[in-house]
Amino acid sequence: MVLKVANLHVSYQRSGGSFVALEDVGFELIRGQTLAVVGESGSGKSTLAYACAGLLAPERGSVELLGRPLARRRAKDLKWQAQHLQMVFQDPLSSLNPRQTIARSLAEPLLSAARDARPAAGEISKRLASLIAQVGLRPDIANRYPHELSGGQCQRVAIARALANRPEVLICDEPVSALDISVQAQVINLLLDLQQKLELSILFIAHDLGVVRRIASQLIVMHEGRIVERGPARQILSEPQHPYTQNLLASEARLDFG
Amino acid sequence: MSLLEVSHLKVSYPTRDGVIDVVRDLSFELDEADSLGIAGESGSGKSQTALAIMGLLAANARVSGSIRLDGLELIGESERGLDRLRGKSLAMVFQDPMSALNPYMTVGRQIGEVLELHQGMSADEAAKRSCELLQMTGIDEPGRRSKAYPHQFSGGQRQRILIAMALACGPRLLIADEPTTALDVTVQKKILELLRSRCRETGTALILISHDLAVLSGMCRNLMIMYGGMEMERGPSQRVLLHATHPYTAALLRTLEDLHGGTGPLSVIPGEPPDLRNPPGGCPFNPRCSEVLTHCNKEIPRPRPVRRIEGTQSHWVACHLEPEE
Amino acid sequence: MNKHGANDTVGGRSLWQNAGERLRRNKAAMFSLWLLLFFVVLVVAGPWLAQHDYTQTNLSLGSTAPSLAGGHWFGTDALGRDVLARTLAGGRISLLVGLVATLVSLLIGVFWGAVAGYCGGRVDALMMRFVDTLYAMPFMFFVILLMVVFGRNILLIFVAIGAINWLDMARIVRGQTIGLRHREFIQAATLMGAGTLTIIVRHVIPNLLGVVVVYVTLTIPQVMLVESFLSYLGLGVQEPFTSWGALVNQGALEMETAPWLLVFPALFLAGTLFCFNFIGDGLRDALDAKSDEDGW
């Protein structure tokens, strides 16, 4: 078990009182597995992703990564965490620093690593080249800027950057929602491939059931901050038990051949 | 005569990198009270086509060709002339309802404005009719709600309001550009059903634009697939979906079906949608096509009727694989 | 065009380069840029160009009108000093004050604002309350205090003006930082274990430089005017140094009898201010983020 979440509770202050984003959420992510979290807007799925990444401090509850509780204060802890957990965000263009070349963006995780984990100066360009190749991009992309790349290419760069330090856990926050359909399939295939090669454990957040079908072995359905259904993905998708899940499946747009 | 006749429509923009052609030689028709779904990815030109019909293109756009609504030529029509048509005969619903609604005006007044302007109603008559329209689009307590402001409604409700506004004067044609993409999937279905039923009631023809073929298949009688500014395939929805002739259409359908079942890697269309600053020669899809022929990157295939299937009813495809007559 | 249709342009073109190109197409801004450069060259090369030293008095030639033949192209002032030479010398001081004071306020303001905006919470509150307190202080009082304590020193002028201007810069930078803080690439940097200082220097500041640069070009003229105001009050540069502001103020007193004393320095001052404003406008348009998103 690589990631353990228990009794997670997150709320925000809003005009008109506090708004509960997550209520008593708990689950476990097993090594090499893909756990998908599906929900609509307001379900709390993005909040969950950020809390699991340690970017958000929960009011109550705990997140444990490889047995260690997530810390947000000490630089040493953050650097350790950076070696073992990374995230891919929804908007590919926004997740890259617009003022940096791709090479510089990819080098960042390598340079930010704790001293003993940092590769030698000469090594870095070799590592960059292998990262770029690993996500199926051409080497000349290294000198470009994010705004010169397409959405799909940016997302591949984001994935490469996340995998630079070979983390065990990858959190994907709606990684293909902003991409064209023909490109979505490419990125999903890339994730499937990388998961197999690197034995990644993936927490995959999505609002689209279709995307989740292929990639997820376990599934959690969220609604208004709570988990309403959980279990093996195939089972839930073929025989949903909770009325909300049933509604979600029924509303899915299907090809109507008349 | 069809309600809408688009003929050799071309839209381009001059930029520092040269002229970008976003719509390249597009032709299609739509009959009264009929429906057409336009499917396409980034760079396909579907949104630009909609804006061209509505006369809402950016100031530096260069348009040529012909767009006729009820026989009236829209290209070259003055702004005054277009203003008279928009809201009355032509209407549009956009993807983001919040940017289409005035945040400082009550919802009832915004709908009323359309009625006062185009149907010459008095303020009172317009207010009454606004309530009726809100009711018809599924907003409860319309009397009270019509005095509320846009930010007090949910995304789905705002879209309903927009639909009410668009159909207020019973337009001849309604264009909906990705109206449900920003909405949750449970809300999406309801909004689409609303759109279809209201258009049927008012006898309005509908052009629905989406990147999602699944959404279009259930909603529209006709389907047009666009790519790289051009039409790839066009015809009655069932025919296009059951007998997809263009390799792009077939590949898209395969991807969609894959997402709904099966295991292992998904079938992919390699490569990316074209960069319009530097489009491929010949057919825009040729660099990614699995069945590409040697002359596909030299000659642009013009739309031709599909012969291979029995009883062809205006099923067109723009592909060299299909022989020209 | 490669096999799969991806674009094959060579090398990357950064956002700065794109903005630079857009600026180059703005005629007003480019003209202003060249004119400004011309002024700067003139002012720097002044002593070697002018025939007369700007401090040299010649009472017999007091208050003569400009004449090309007479050697005093801009005329002379009451003490017979060459107005052209004095204008150029004054320009050196004015521009120097403008640039140095702005640089000081830039360095302090950007760091203050970025740290306050990024850290948020108590740190932000403390830092910005300090800014608010300084804002409440009357500027003139502060300057007079400095003068009293340190005597009238040209360096003081830089300090005084810089010390006031950084407040505006800090507020603007803080606002921009707050907007940036939640962008995904900042979150990603945090996740990668980058420290707060690294994030501020490497990710936050480069992405708000656009706004800062525009603000700087609009601050420089402001600063120059403040300096001339100080000169008017007698608190500015001391003789033999002079500035455009000082010259304009002296010239205004003798406007009716010797208009050339006012006209030439005023033209230079006003011209420079216009240039900075046009350049600032041009930069703002060029750096407009929207223009980078799609070609249309």
- At B165-197, the pLDDT tens digits run 998 888 999 999 999 888 888 888 889 999 999
B128 conformational bin, left if phi > 0, alpha if psi -120 to 50, beta if neither: alpha
pLDDT for A16 equals 72
What pLDDT score does C7 carry?
42
| Interface probe, candidates B220, B248, B260, B275, chain A, greatest A C-beta count within 10 A | B260
**CA of B3 vs chain C CAs: smallest distance (Å):** 30
Given an 8 Å threshold on Cβ–Cβ distance, is A255 in contact with B213? Answer: yes
Name the residue among C2, C13, C194 with its Cβ closest to that of A145: C13
Q: Could you tell me the CATH number of the domain that includes residue A179?
A: 3.40.50.300
Would you call C188 and A101 a contact, using CB atoms and an 8 Å cutoff? no
CA B43 to chain centre: 14
CB contact under 8 A, C1 and B280: yes
The residue count of chain B comes to 325
Q: Taking CB atoms and an 8 Å limit, are B186 and A251 in contact across chains?
A: yes
pLDDT at C211: 86
Cα–Cα distance, B70 to B62 (Å, whole number): 23
List Cβ neighbours of C53 (8 Å cut-off, separation of 6 or more): C47, C82, C85
User: Do A23 and A34 touch, CB atoms closer than 8 A?
Assistant: no
**Given a cut of 60, is residue C4 above it in pLDDT?**
no
% of chain C at pLDDT higher than 70 = 92
Domains and CATH numbers, chain C: 15-61+69-288 (1.10.3720.10)
Confidence of residue C296 (pLDDT cuts 50, 70, 90): very low
DSSP state of A143: G
Q: Do the Cβ atoms of A85 and C191 come within 8 Å?
A: yes
Judge whether A36 lies within some domain. yes
Neighboring chains of A (3 or more beta-carbon pairs < 8 A):
B, C
Chain B hits for C3, CB-CB cut-off 8 Å, are: 271, 287
- Assess B271–C contact: CB distance below 8 Å, yes or no: yes
Instruction: Give residue C172's pLDDT band: very low, low, confident or very high (50, 70, 90).
Output: very high
Partners of C2 on chain B (C-beta within 8 Å) are 287
| pLDDT-based confidence at residue B310 (cuts at 50, 70, 90) | low
Question: Does residue A71 contact residue A173 with C-beta atoms inside 8 Å?
Answer: no
A36-77 pLDDT per residue, tens: 999 988 888 999 999 999 888 888 888 999 888 886 666 778
Does residue A127 fall inside a structural domain? no
Query: What is the rounded average pLDDT of the residues A18-46?
Result: 90
The 10s digit of each residue's pLDDT in B231-283 is: 999 999 988 998 899 999 999 998 888 877 777 788 888 888 888 888 898 99
A181 falls within a domain: yes
Which pLDDT tens digit goes with each residue over C238-253?
Answer: 777 888 888 888 888 8
The tokens for B105 are: 């005006």
Domain encompassing residue A21: 3-99+168-251
Chain B to chain C Cβ contacts (< 8 Å)? 41
Contact C240, C57 (CB under 8 A): no
Residue A133 is predicted with a pLDDT of 92
Portion 15-44 of A in contact with B at CB < 8 A: 40-41
Proportion of chain A above pLDDT 90, given as a percent: 50
The pLDDT value recorded for residue A71 is 66
The predicted-structure confidence for B114-163, as pLDDT tens digits, reads as follows 888 888 889 999 999 999 999 988 888 888 999 999 988 888 899 999 99
**Alpha-carbon distance C132 to nearest alpha carbon in chain A (angstroms):** 26
pLDDT confidence tier of residue B312, bands split at 50, 70 and 90: low
> What is the total count of domains within chain A?
1
Q: For chain C, which chains pass the contact test of at least 3 CB pairs under 8 Å?
A: A, B
In which band, very low, low, confident or very high, does the pLDDT at C295 lie, cut at 50, 70 and 90?
very low
B287/C296 CB distance under 8 A = no
Question: In the structure encoding, which two tokens stand for residue B190, read together?
Answer: 């309801």
In tens, the pLDDT along C113-134 reads 999 999 988 999 999 999 999 8
Helix boundaries (H) for chain B: 46-54, 79-85, 97-100, 107-119, 123-136, 142-145, 155-167, 185-202, 213-219, 237-242, 247-259
Give the pLDDT of residue B35.
94
User: Shortest CB distance from A94 goes to which of C2, C11, C184?
Assistant: C184
Q: Which chain B residues contact residue A148 at CB under 8 A?
A: none
- State yes or no: pLDDT of A2 exceeds 90: no
* Cross-chain Cβ contact A97/C185 below 8 Å: yes
Q: Which residue from A minimizes the CA distance to B182?
A: A41
Mean pLDDT of A65-90: 84
3-state SS class at C157: helix
Residues 105-134 of A with CB under 8 A from C: 108-109, 112-114
From A50, A82, A53, select the one nearest A165 (Cα to Cα).
Answer: A82
Specify the higher pLDDT residue, C17 or C37: C37
User: In 3D, which of B253, B225, B269, B244 has the Cα closest to residue B321?
Assistant: B244
Q: Write out the H or E segment, with its range, that includes residue A188.
A: helix A181-198
Peptide bond into B236 cis (omega under 30): no
Tell whether A96 lies on the interface with C, counting CB pairs under 8 A.
Answer: yes
- Confidence bin at B223 (pLDDT 50/70/90): very high
Partner residue facing B275 (CB), from C3, C7, C296? C7
* CB contact B277 to C (< 8 Å): yes
Contact state of A143 with C12 under an 8 Å Cβ cutoff? yes
Q: Do C1 and B277 touch (CB under 8 A)?
A: no
Interface of C with A in 15-34 (CB under 8 A): 15-16
Q: What is the pLDDT of residue B308?
A: 66
pLDDT at C154: 74
Nearest by CB to residue A98, choosing from C10, C15, C187, is C15
Determine how many CB atoms are found less than 10 A away from the CB of residue B164.
26
Distance CA C2, CA B272 (A): 11
ipTM for this prediction = 0.87
**Rg of chain B in Å (alpha carbons):** 21
In tens, the pLDDT along B5-14 reads 999 999 999 9
Distance CA C107, CA A112 (A): 26
Q: Model confidence at C3, in pLDDT bands (50, 70, 90)?
A: very low
- % of chain B beyond a pLDDT of 70: 98
- What was the pLDDT predicted at B311? 58
A193 contacts B268? CB cut-off 8 A = no
Question: What single-letter amino acid sits at A241?
Answer: Q
Q: How far does A7 lie from chain C, in Å, by closest CA?
A: 23
Q: Do B267 and A252 touch (CB under 8 A)?
A: no
Could you say which residues from 145 to 174 on chain A have a Cβ atom under 8 Å away from some Cβ of chain C?
A: 145, 147-148, 150, 153, 158, 161
Across the interface, do A75 and C9 touch by the CB < 8 Å criterion? no
C150 touching chain A per CB within 8 A = no
pLDDT for A209: 80
Q: Identify the residue among B275, B288, B298 best suited for mutation to test binding to C, counting C beta carbons within 10 A and taking the highest.
A: B275
Say which residue, B45 or C160, is predicted with more confidence: B45
Average of pLDDT values for B25-38? Answer: 94
Q: Is the pLDDT of residue B98 over 60?
A: yes
Cβ B275–C4 below 8 Å, yes or no?
Answer: no
DSSP secondary structure string for all residues of B67-103 = EEETTEE-TT--HHHHHHHBTTTEEEE-S-HHHHS-T
B-chain residues within 8 Å CB-CB of A141?
A: none
Q: Which residues contact B262 (CB under 8 A, 6 or more apart)?
A: A214
Facing residue for B268 by CB, picked from A189, A213, A258:
A189
How far apart (Å, rounded) are the C-alpha atoms in residues A204 and A36?
4
Residue A237 in any domain: the answer is yes
Q: Which residue has the higher pLDDT, C17 or B311?
A: C17
Residues of chain B with C-beta less than 8 angstroms from the C-beta of A248: 185-186
Interface residue A153 vs chain B (CB under 8 A): yes
pLDDT (0 to 100) of residue C1 = 34
Mutate to test the interface with C, among A77, A104, A144, A165 (most CBs of C within 10 A): A144
What does pLDDT average to over chain B?
Answer: 89
Specify the DSSP element, H or E, that contains A46: helix A45-52
Q: Judge contact between A174 and A151, C-beta under 8 A.
A: no
User: For all residues of chain A together, what is the average pLDDT?
Assistant: 88
Give exposure, C250-282, as e/b (b: 16+ Cβ within 10 Å).
bbeeeeeebebbbbbbbebbeebbebbbbbbbb
Judged by average pLDDT, the poorest of A202-206, B103-107, C192-196 is: C192-196
Determine which of A40, A193, A214 to mutate to test the interface with B (most B C-beta atoms within 10 Å): A214
